[in-house]
Structure 1
Amino acid sequence: MGCGNVFFTLIITLSVALITYNILISANASLKQELPGPSTSSIIDPIIQMPLEKSRKYGSNAEKRLFHTAVTASDSVYNTWQCRVMYYWFKKHRNGPNSDMGGFTRILHSGKPDNYMNEIPTFIAQPLPAGMDQGYIVLNRPWAFVQWLQKADIKEDYILMAEPDHIIVKPIPNLSKDGLGAAFPFFYIEPKKYESVLRKYFPEEKGPITNIDPIGNSPVIVGKDSLKKIAPTWMNVSLAMKKDPETDKAFGWVLEMYAYAVSSALHGVGNILYKDFMIQPPWDTKIGNKFIIHYTYGCDYDLKGRLTYGKIGEWRFDKRSFDTEAPPRNLPLPPSGVPESVVTLVKMVNEATSNIPNWGS
């Protein structure tokens, strides 16, 4: 396909998405709804350690660059118990050393309050109109962020986008700097591999495909003003990608992650790829200097502490085992020989459930 046809496809696809978006929100919305302007991103080393000047600023007299932690969620039992555990550990670490953690919001995209409004600070967002997510509920995430950024009074200048299945291991500093976001690089987000698909949304005049970072929207720390520009585009690109059969087939369940990466690049917001942002057990075995445990994968072991991934283990922890009811208090700890990351994960879940009032209600 020639460049002209690619660009024409881009305009048509995003125009349809923009029309859909404009139907959803009022004409008086404070967020800009037009396509982004020219890219102003700079070339950076793709994976770096914490900037030295940032580490030197830590201390009681340092000027804080607080970020607001935002987590999107449905009102399902599955999402709710994860949010309760996540918020417990957020509160434990918010005022710890080196923390730039400010406020917290659960962005609940069910459209109505639930029973945990008094436990977790919550913003009620409306879901997409029936059928628009095409069974891919994650499409509600960018739309929920658009609503929250429009309507909420957010005091902090930065946003940490997190997820219910994140457990904060230690206080998190503001890892972003110089107009760049700070994001975790995912090995399975491969812009170069899918360049022909991504050029439908990121035309060649925007620059090399490597301008698209290998990230999702979470975990990401980004300036609030930058996110206000990115969010409507993120929503539009997500909808356009889902409507396109080739893109939908190529990206599957990570489609919305690609949409955020593309949208960030379209607005010229580069990211420091911070590989120490989080770990993902059971593949990552040590906590080290990481800030977040992301328990997206099941952890299956035999009684000798050997991983049996792909086969249900004699001992297991998998969040999907608790999709219709919250995990009980005092889950059994893994057998001897299981890595530190998995042991820590289960201990932290147990501590949270033991201390959260009315657990299981």
Structure 2
Amino acid sequence: MYYWYKKMKDVPGSDMGGFTRILHSGNPDNLMEEIPSIVVDPLPEGLDRGYIVLNRPWAFVQWLEKATIEEEYILMAEPDHIFVNPLPNLAHGDHPAAFPFFYIKPAENEKIMRKYYPEEMGPVTNVDPIGNSPVIIKKSILEKIAPTWMNVSLRMKDDPETDKAFGWVLEMYGYAVASALHGVRHILRKDFMLQPPWDLEVGNKFIIHYTYGCDYNMKGELTYGKIGEWRFDKRSHLRGPPPRNLSLPPPGVPESVVRLVKAVNEASANIPNWDTQ
């Protein structure tokens, strides 16, 4: 991610400013000198119940309190994001920009949503179908939302019905609800991000999110759910970075997947000590 941030930052059309990696382990790591980073504390032991993402809103609360942030707007993004086009400020004034996720469905979960977004606040359709990432938002607005995001997420995790219903996207719902509680609506930008293998072309989109495994046979046919003869899946590299010079997909595989692998290969070829850190 950081390699492609640096490459795209000063390209015409980009509004990107500084970069900060927020590390919520509580301890510095071996990338501190390579990537601008700030270390914040994790939640008290046991509070995340093994759901490590629950540390994210608390990390943002600490960062916003500790850091000197020169920019007026903040992009919240994740390590499995690759910038593929220069990113302008997609927000407009007090209206943040966000990517709409098809699996965040406030209206279909109204009974649960009402535990956190009461009827007097309005219809649950006021809750945007988003998570906190990718989002471009005014810093002053995020400073108001972040503590609520943390508290709502903790309450959700503490409620068995909510925890079961929302699962691994619980913290995303936490951000969406917190935003709505503060009366914040997001501009929904489908072009903010693409997610291979389902999105086939990069086009004018800005970020590749490589969250899904990409499995294909040698005919270029998707074999999702079954390990392919050719595959790229970040979960294959949990113990270390992927090797340099990954094999390219076979003919017929969508351009988005080819672009993803080429982007990883370019970054790994140009980052010193790739295989040793």
* TM-score, normalisation: structure 2: 0.99
Residue 19 of structure 2: SS of its match in structure 1?
strand
Aligned to 2:54: 139
Alignment of 1:1-361 (within 5 A): 86-361=1-276
Q: What is the deviation of 1:239?
A: 0.3
Q: What is the deviation of 1:178?
A: 3.1
The one-character-per-residue Cα deviations of 1:26-81 (angstroms, maximum 9, x if unpaired) are: xxxxxxxxxxxxxxxxxxxxxxxxxxxxxxxxxxxxxxxxxxxxxxxxxxxxxxxx
| Structure 2 unaligned regions, length at least 5 | none
Q: Report the Cα distance in structure 1 between the residues aligned to 2:131 and 2:28, rounded to whole angstroms.
A: 28
Q: Report the Cα distance in structure 2 between the residues aligned to 1:153 and 1:122, rounded to whole angstroms.
A: 13
Percent sequence identity over aligned pairs: 74
Residue 25 of structure 2: SS of its match in structure 1?
coil
Q: What is the deviation of 1:305?
A: 0.3
Structure number, greater radius of gyration: 1
Residue 111 of structure 2 aligns with an amino acid whose one-letter code is: S
Residue 82 of structure 2 aligns with an amino acid whose one-letter code is: I
Any runs of at least 4 consecutive aligned residues in structure 1 with deviations exceeding 3 A, and if so which? Answer: none
Q: What is the deviation of 1:295?
A: 0.3
Q: Report the Cα distance in structure 1 between the residues aligned to 2:110 and 2:254, rounded to whole angstroms.
A: 37
Q: Report the Cα distance in structure 2 between the residues aligned to 1:221 and 1:348, rounded to whole angstroms.
A: 23
The one-character-per-residue Cα deviations of 1:262-317 (angstroms, maximum 9, x if unpaired) are: 00010111100000000000000000110000000000000010000000000000
Residue 103 of structure 1: SS of its match in structure 2?
coil
**CA root-mean-square deviation:** 0.5
Q: Report the Cα distance in structure 2 between the residues aligned to 1:178 and 1:324, rounded to whole angstroms.
A: 42
* TM-score, normalisation: structure 1: 0.76
Residue 128 of structure 1: SS of its match in structure 2?
coil
Matched residues, number: 276
Residue 160 of structure 1 aligns with an amino acid whose one-letter code is: L
Q: What is the deviation of 1:325?
A: 1.7
Residue 104 of structure 1: SS of its match in structure 2?
coil
Residue 134 of structure 2 aligns with an amino acid whose one-letter code is: P
| Structure 1 unaligned regions, length at least 5 | 1-85
